[in-house]
């Protein structure tokens, strides 16, 4: 494989065996290199592909600003995300997260603080992603020597949420607002505090995330197990009453129709949640 074009000391453009253009990134890969030179593949750390010359040009401009250290930090964050969240994130996400980290470091170096107004909600609703964001701060500091604050951990967490929900929900802020609204309605209906550190609360929030996905994408199931739903209503009348208030709000606010199954599942989650809090 030979060099088609040198972008900088660490980035070159080449072609594969099918003559598709590639961007290769590696420490010193382009240093004093000339067009036509054979590439030392042992130096190649990342290979990026684009489906058009225009996208390749855009990608090369973007990568030209990103340092290898920023790319390595982003890559390690996504590796951890894959292990913890069980999601395999794309090459595009690596570039996007690297670019995000680069810009955060630029702001930090210029003394520009960016307040994350969703930080508290991110901690509550996306604890795994926030933990990854905190880990990300450590990795960024190790790789670049720049220490970013907790607000940035929240931004990294949101980045991971958006990446995971990309095919399901386009509006992460909307999903967060959906969860906030449901929790507020439930607290008002229960007239009690909810144990937000319990496993039941975490499962409830997870259920709401997927419910939000279905509502936003109009992908609501037609499951109508009326018999089971009535049994649940009879067995857990208080939780069912709370669930009805929540579902009435969702149906009115988001102009959708939820099935008997949704009533049943929401009731069961709420029952476990308030029972755990009562006994907490």
pLDDT in tens, 72-94: 899 899 999 989 888 766 667 88
68-165 CATH fold: PTS-regulatory domain, PRD (1.10.1790)
Residues 6+ apart with CB under 8 A from 254: 178, 215, 216
CATH classification (class only), 172-279: mainly alpha
| Residue in 211, 217, 220 with CA at minimum distance from that of residue 166 | 217
Is residue 167 within 8 Å of 249, Cβ to Cβ? no
Give the single-character DSSP code of 30.
T
| The predicted structure's pLDDT at residue 144 | 95
Structure confidence by residue, pLDDT tens digits, 40-79: 898 888 887 766 677 677 777 777 888 889 988 998 999 9
pLDDT at residue 168 greater than cutoff 60 = no
Mean pLDDT of all residues belonging to the chain = 85
| The predicted structure's pLDDT at residue 178 | 93
pLDDT at residue 165 greater than cutoff 70 = no
| The predicted structure's pLDDT at residue 280 | 41
| The predicted structure's pLDDT at residue 279 | 45
Structure confidence by residue, pLDDT tens digits, 133-143: 999 999 999 99
CATH 2.30.24.10 segments of the chain: 5-62
Is residue 223 within 8 Å of 261, Cβ to Cβ? yes
5-62 CATH fold: Transcription Regulation, Sacy; Chain A (2.30.24)
> Which residues, listed in sequence order, are joined to residue 80 by a DSSP beta bridge?
none
Percent of the chain at pLDDT > 70 equals 91
| Residue in 196, 212, 172, 198 with CA at minimum distance from that of residue 123 | 196
CATH 1.10.1790.10 segments of the chain: 68-165, 172-279
d(CA 123, CA 130) in angstroms, rounded, equals 6
Is residue 19 within 8 Å of 2, Cβ to Cβ? no
d(CA 65, CA 101) in angstroms, rounded, equals 11
| The predicted structure's pLDDT at residue 250 | 95
| The predicted structure's pLDDT at residue 64 | 80
Confidence of residue 120 (pLDDT cuts 50, 70, 90): confident
**Average pLDDT in the 187-202 region?**
82
What is the pTM (predicted TM-score) of this model? 0.63
**What 3 state SS string does 44-97 have?**
CCEEEECCCHHHHHHHHHHHHHCCHHHHHHHHHHHHHHHHHHCCCCCHHHHHHH
Structure confidence by residue, pLDDT tens digits, 221-278: 666 667 888 888 899 999 999 999 999 999 999 999 998 888 888 998 999 888 877 5
């Amino acid at each position: 494989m030979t060099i088609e074009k040198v972008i900088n000391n660490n980035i070159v453009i080449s072609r594969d065996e099918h003559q598709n253009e590639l961007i290769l990134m590696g420490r010193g890969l382009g240093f004093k290199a000339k067009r036509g030179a054979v590439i030392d593949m042992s130096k190649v750390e990342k290979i990026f592909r684009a489906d058009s010359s225009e996208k390749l040009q855009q990608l090369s401009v973007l990568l030209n600003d990103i340092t290898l250290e920023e790319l390595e930090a982003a890559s390690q964050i996504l590796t951890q995300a894959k292990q913890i969240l069980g999601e395999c994130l794309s090459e595009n996400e690596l570039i996007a997260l690297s670019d995000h980290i680069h810009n955060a470091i630029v702001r930090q170096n210029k003394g520009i603080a960016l307040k994350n107004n969703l930080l508290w909600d991110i901690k509550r609703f996306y604890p795994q992603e926030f933990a990854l964001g905190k880990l990300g701060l450590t990795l960024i500091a190790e790789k670049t020597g720049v220490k970013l604050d907790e607000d940035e951990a929240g931004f990294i967490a949101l980045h991971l949420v958006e990446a995971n929900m990309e095919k399901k929900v386009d509006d992460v802020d909307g999903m967060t607002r959906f969860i906030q609204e449901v929790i507020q309605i439930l607290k008002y209906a229960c007239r009690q505090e909810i144990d937000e550190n319990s496993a039941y609360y975490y499962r409830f929030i997870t259920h709401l995330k997927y419910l939000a996905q279905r509502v936003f994408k109009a992908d609501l199931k037609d499951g109508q197990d009326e018999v089971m739903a009535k049994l649940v209503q009879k067995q857990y009348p208080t939780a069912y009453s709370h669930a009805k208030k929540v579902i009435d709000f969702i149906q009115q606010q988001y102009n959708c129709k939820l099935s008997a199954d949704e009533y049943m599942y929401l009731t069961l989650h709420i029952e476990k949640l308030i029972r755990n809090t009562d006994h907490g």
